[in-house]
Structure 1
Amino acid sequence: MQPIYVKHYAEPESFARALGFAYDALVHGPVKFDAMATWKSLSERIAQGIYMGEGLLLPHTRVPGLPQPLFAFAVCPKGFTDIAVKQGQVPQYICLLLSPAESATCHTQFIANIARKLLNPEWRARALDAKTPEHLKALFEE
């Protein structure tokens, strides 16, 4: 389970901008998919709410014909801005997930795996401290 794209933001960053960079990386990644249809589906899901708690924003959608899950991951210790979350909480992690539409199991298993990592306070702290793409990617090998 390796992200296609990782990013550490040292300063507060808008959710829309961070999402745009992450999505662009998936669009130009190793697996081709219908970028416009997927963006529309993703936008609809975002409108329904994507804050999962523990600082995690999980924009996700299922994509017809996708052979495997694709994801991008970003951290921002000072917080992603311009996104509604529970009062007093700071969104510090974005995990953008595209899953095969044909496999609900694949989608559910991926979300369970990422949740397991982000529920671990030590893993979250190391992710916030990882300043390079290599350090961030290495966290997903654990």
Structure 2
Amino acid sequence: MGFAYDALVHGPVKFDAMATWKSLSERVSQGIYMGEGLLLPHTRVPGLPQPLFAFAVCPKGFTDIAVKAGQVPQYICLLLSPAESATCHTQFIANIARKLLNPQWRTQALEAKTPEQLNALFED
């Protein structure tokens, strides 16, 4: 999660990195496993102009994460949403859930060998 967050902090959209990390950490302590192999650490950020996300896959599975017995999280989507728009937040989560419910999309994400291949799965 640290690498994903670092990518957002050093991206083109500026936000209060320390306050956001604190909020994100509180959310993580409440649980971030959404099912279907997805870890979804997320928080709302005041003044953010648009949702920001970092997505990564780990075919062997992410470890040290509390999930239901027999399940292995293989996808992580770190999401920062504008605090002022609940709709924006909900729409993004619904969109990523639709992708992960598609077995073909999940397979393509796991098989992606480059960041460009993974990014292409979000272009629709």
Q: TM-score, normalised by structure 2?
A: 0.99
Q: Percent identity?
A: 91
- Cα deviation per residue 1:24-49 (whole Å; 9 max; x = unaligned)? 01001010000000000000000001
> Per the alignment, in what secondary structure is the counterpart of residue 80 of structure 1?
coil
TM-score, structure 1 as length reference: 0.86
Aligned to 1:82: 64
- Mapped to 2, the partners of 1:93 and 1:45 lie a distance apart of 18
Aligned length: 124
TM-superposed CA distance for 1:104, in Å, is 0.2
Q: Which runs of 5+ in 1 are unaligned?
A: 1-18
Q: Relative contact order (alpha carbons < 8 A, sep ≥ 6): 1 or 2 greater?
A: 1
Distance in structure 2 (CA, Å) of the matches to 1:27 and 1:134:
20
Q: Distance in 2 between matches of 1:39 and 1:82?
A: 19
Shift of 1:120: 0.5
Rounded to whole Å, the distance in 1 between the matches of 2:73 and 2:67 is: 7
Name segments (4+ residues, structure 1) moved above 4 Å. none
Q: CA deviation at 1:116?
A: 0.4
Alpha-carbon deviation of 1:131? 1.0
Q: Give 5+ residue unaligned stretches, structure 2.
A: none
TM-align CA RMSD: 0.5
